[in-house]
Amino acid sequence: MKETQVTKSTPQNEYLEEEKRLLSIDVNELAELNDNVYRLRTDLTALVDLLGKYKLSITQDTQEQAVIFGNTVLGRFIDQIETKCTEVEQRITQMDNRISLSYKAFYILIVILIALSSFLVCMIVANVEFLHSGLVWKTIACCGFIAILGIIMVMVIIRILVM
What's residue 131's pLDDT?
63
pLDDT tens digits along 5-41: 555 667 777 778 888 888 888 888 888 988 988 998 9
Compute the distance between CA of residue 75 and CA of residue 81 in angstroms, rounded to an integer: 10
Q: What is the pLDDT of residue 1?
A: 47
Spell out the residues 6+ positions from residue 7 whose beta carbon is closer than 8 angstroms to its own. Answer: 13
130 residue type, one letter: F
Domain boundaries, the chain: 12-56, 57-100
Quote the CA–CA distance of 148 and 162 in Å, as a whole number.
21
Angle at CA of residue 96, ends 90 and 98, nearest 5°: 120
Terminal Cα distance for the chain, rounded:
132
CA distance 19 to 24: 9
How far is the C-alpha of 158 from the C-alpha of 163, rounded, in Å? Answer: 9
Per-10-residue mean pLDDT of the chain, 163 residues long, equals 58 79 87 89 88 78 90 92 89 75 82 83 70 74 82 86 82
Calpha distance 1→38 (Å, rounded): 53
Q: What's the whole-model pTM score? A: 0.31
Dist. CA 75–CA 79, nearest whole Å: 6
